Amino acid sequence: MDDRASGRAGDAPIGIFDSGLGGLTVLKEVRARLPAENLIYLGDTARVPYGPKSPRTITRFAMEAALFLLRQGVKLLVVACNTSSAMALDTLRATLRIPVIGVIEPGIRAAVAAARGEKIGVIGTLGTISSEVYQRGIAERMPAAEIHAVACPLFVPLVEEGWREHPVTAMVAEEYLGPLRKAGVDTLVLGCTHYPVLEDVIRETMGSGTRLVDSAQVVAEEVGGVLDGTVLAAAGDTVPWTRFYATDVPGRMANWGERIWGMHIPEVTRVEVDELATPKTTS
């Protein structure tokens, strides 16, 4: 366990991981909701995107990320990746002895609460959409809903490339979202933490009559609900810190966070993929 996470339970950090950089949207909201908490973010940038990969592979990647963060002494784990939440959340919760919060359950609740009519759209990676976890969850809470789900596999690499204002991105958005607009979808769930980066182009494509649902803020509220009033909550009598890790090109995370979210990331530590589940040993 990291020495900075020892001592009082509340001093231990919250761990947040994503397949890449999109989970920084969740970290930003957690920091806003819980300003006294210490945070650790891990972006598995060497293996992004997770969406096209098999459930078995995604579950392995998610477990490796979780084990790495556990070694840093985290007290709560946020799976800031819709694909991992869809495929691996049950396994993580059954294996780990700390609270594990995914992004899908809060996103479903937010979508139902935000719905203006009965036509709800869901966009996400191939893995998330094929799991049908959003579709089932929305249908259970809103049986009359007409759900339109579309996989948008190119959105994540476009975000990671920094092409949120590129003409190609607008063309891809029209290809994916045009059918949803024509179907009269009035509420659209951004079922991937990368997608809020493309909010402007998504709004332009869908039109002003469509409400966009981003689960990041709702996830932060859920984290607060788990910690508030417990011994795990930070006391707020020390200066909070945030640490960032990436499995490839760490400088990209710093540049991306600054450019997209105005988030100052002074240092990103690279951790090799093979160190996630099995740390290096010294002889």
In angstroms, rounded to a whole number, what is the distance separating the alpha carbons of residues 149 and 7?
46
Distance CA(214)–CA(114), nearest Å, equals 11
The C-alpha atoms of residue 141 and residue 224 are separated, in whole angstroms, by 24
**How far apart are the C-alpha atoms of 214 and 277, rounded to whole Å?**
30
* Catalytic member of 58, 78, 108, 192: 192
Helix (H, G, I), strand (E, B) or coil at 98: coil
CB-count burial class (<10 Å; 0-12, 13-18, 19+) for 40: buried
CA distance 101 to 93: 9
Known catalytic membership, residue 152: no
- Cβ burial 210-248 (10 Å sphere, 16+ → b, else e): bbbbbbbbbbbbbbeebbeeeebbbeeeeeeebbbbbbb
Would you list the DSSP string of 13-59?
PEEEEESSSTTHHHHHHHHHH-TT--EEEEE-TTS---TTS-HHHHH
Tokens 């009519």 — which residue? Answer: 117
The one catalytic residue among 12, 81, 112, 219: 81
Measured between alpha carbons, how far is 20 from 69 in angstroms, rounded to an integer?
Answer: 15
Q: Which residue numbers are catalytic? A: 81, 192
